[in-house]
Amino acid sequence: MTDTAREEILGRINQALGRRGGGEYVSSASGTVPTGSPAEAAGSRTGAGHGAEDTSDDAGSTTPAAGGGMVNQSADYLRTGTHSGEDLIELLVDRLEDYKANVHRVTGDPAATIAGLLETGSNIVVPRGLDEAWLQEFSGEISVDTPGQELSVPELDTQAAVVTASAVAIAQTGTIVLDGSPECGRRAITLVPDHHVCVVRVADIVDIVPEGIARLTPEAALTFISGPSATSDIELKRVEGVHGPRTLDVVIVEE
């Protein structure tokens, strides 16, 4: 049944694209206004012919472009940001705080700062690859989540906090990305505990989204985090703190 459905859907798509009838794909976006006419001249109707008639990117070819068909390479949106050094860090801090994350800056060893964010004597979970030095000042129970010895969901639910590192931080949007690496851990450990302490290394901060994406691969599961959990579902008013961790502490570490 499923195989039949697959063939039938692909057949319908081919029919819709006019491939069987030899027709060519025509985008329905209009591009009928001649360039330079006053109907266009006044304005910011951007892009030549609304871009839709742009068939330069292998339209009509039967296979996606090599390398998976990244089609945006000729676009003129920004791929690199303009911030660097202290400006870049300040931008990240500003954006994190704007979305109600708590930000702490440390030069050198973050152990004292991290310990200060955790309740003494509480129990916390950490991924197996976390730098042990970061927890040296913390006195409490540390559970290390290790393959084969994962904490169960009920166990995770009893943890006061989780401490992890991060893969990339995007300053412009105040976004931190966890990539499932040994120092970020599997997804559940940063989800169930109500308090997430996340360490960001200055070297991992980028300015804008394209720079962040360029540093990532989706081989492991990825989680993009921008502030603590929030909702805008009641009168489109943003409220922080729903199902995910309600407290997000970000520790930015400079070497």
Span interacting with another protein, options 115-123, 132-140, 158-166, 229-237, rule CB under 8 A: 229-237
Measured between alpha carbons, how far is 204 from 212 in angstroms, rounded to an integer?
A: 9
* Ramachandran category for residue 117: left, alpha or beta (phi over 0 → left; psi -120 to 50 → alpha): alpha
Q: Is 10 in the site for another protein (CB under 8 A)?
A: yes
At closest approach, how far in Å is the CB of 138 from another protein? 25
At closest approach, how far in Å is the CB of 116 from another protein? 25
Fill in the DSSP letter of residue 162: E
* Near another protein in 143-202, by CB under 8 A: 147, 150, 153-154, 157, 170, 172-175, 180, 186-188, 191-192
Length of the chain: 255
Could you tell me the two tokens for 233? Answer: 């579902």
Identify the residue among 13, 84, 132, 139 touching another protein (CB under 8 A): 13
At closest approach, how far in Å is the CB of 200 from another protein? 15
**Contact 125/156 with Cβ under 8 angstroms?**
yes
Q: Is 79 in the site for another protein (CB under 8 A)?
A: yes
Span interacting with another protein, options 112-120, 134-142, 197-205, 234-242, rule CB under 8 A: 234-242
Span interacting with another protein, options 3-11, 85-93, 105-113, 118-126, rule CB under 8 A: 3-11
**Contact 89/205 with Cβ under 8 angstroms?**
yes
Identify the residue among 22, 36, 85, 108 touching another protein (CB under 8 A): 36
Beta strands across the sheet bearing 102-107: 102-107, 247-254, 195-201, 161-164, 123-127, 141-145
At closest approach, how far in Å is the CB of 156 from another protein? 9
Identify the residue among 168, 195, 228, 251 touching another protein (CB under 8 A): 228
What does each C-alpha distance from 168 to 30, 106, 200, 248 come to in angstroms? 39, 17, 8, 16
